[in-house]
Amino acid sequence: MKQMELWVVNIRDIGSEVCWGDLMPILSDRDYARILNYRQSSDKLRFLVGRILIRTLAIKTAGTVKVSLGIMAEGKPYFVGKDMPFFNLSHSEDFVVLAFGKVPVGVDVEHIRSIEIADYESWLTKKEREEITDGSNPFTTFFRIWTMREAFAKLDGRGIGIYDDVRVRQTYKSTGAQFRVFFEKDYILTVCASQIPHQLAPKIFTPSQWREILILNQLFKS
């Protein structure tokens, strides 16, 4: 296993490759119950793609999907067992992203779009507000800052609530954690870990590669 990898699926590219009748049976009973709770088909698809990526990681690492998933108190999942990779999942609109590797990792993806930045000012430091205001593209700057925060919070495991503490807002960039930011189309992906290899780059699955993943998953029933 490489030190770290970053898998990316654009569901617009692979939506036609998803056959619900074939894929629903491979889910665990718990995941099957969860997916039924989603009302929007887009939410169901993002959840399903995320679960398939996690299953694929288990298959490629352990040769089985019979790998237990533990859940931290804050809701962050992890593989139970020796020699299993750390992983973290994120999604935003069309993109589903799985980061994994030999060290704990946090990842966040966001669609860069027009928003009311003023609604988030209380979450930003004075320096961050100035950076957004002075930049040539305030929305790109905002989402770079936001995804860095999210990725760090997911690495930490406690979630975005850690920023209720003003001290964390001001110091999270100086904790020694590394960040790597990628841009794909109009999306921004940020990875956070104690060590990030220089050669890390997103692996974006093509429709044919996604078909291979689906075939692999259909061979391994839950």
pLDDT digits (tens, 9 = 90+) for 162-188: 666 666 666 677 678 999 999 999 999
Q: In whole angstroms, what is the distance from residue 14 CA to residue 7 CA?
A: 14
Coil, helix or strand at residue 29? helix
**Is a pLDDT exceeding 90 seen at residue 74?**
no
Q: Kindly list the structural domains of the chain, giving each domain's residue range(s) and its CATH number in brackets, ordered by start.
A: 4-219 (3.90.470.20)
**Is a pLDDT exceeding 90 seen at residue 18?**
no
Coil, helix or strand at residue 137? coil
* Whole-structure pTM value: 0.90
Radius of gyration (C-alpha) of the chain in whole angstroms: 18
Give the distance, in angstroms, between the CA of residue 45 and the centroid of all CA atoms in the same chain: 15
Q: What angle do CA 213, 38, 73 make, to 5 degrees?
A: 85
Q: In whole angstroms, what is the distance from residue 208 CA to residue 140 CA?
A: 31
Residues with Cβ within 8 Å of 133's Cβ and at least 6 positions away in sequence, in order, are none
pLDDT (mean) for 191-209: 95
pLDDT digits (tens, 9 = 90+) for 82-138: 889 999 999 999 999 999 999 999 999 999 999 999 999 888 888 899 999 998 899
Backbone φ and ψ of 68, nearest 5°: -70, 140
**How does the average pLDDT of the chain come out, rounded?**
87
The DSSP output letter for 119 is: G
**Is a pLDDT exceeding 70 seen at residue 15?**
no
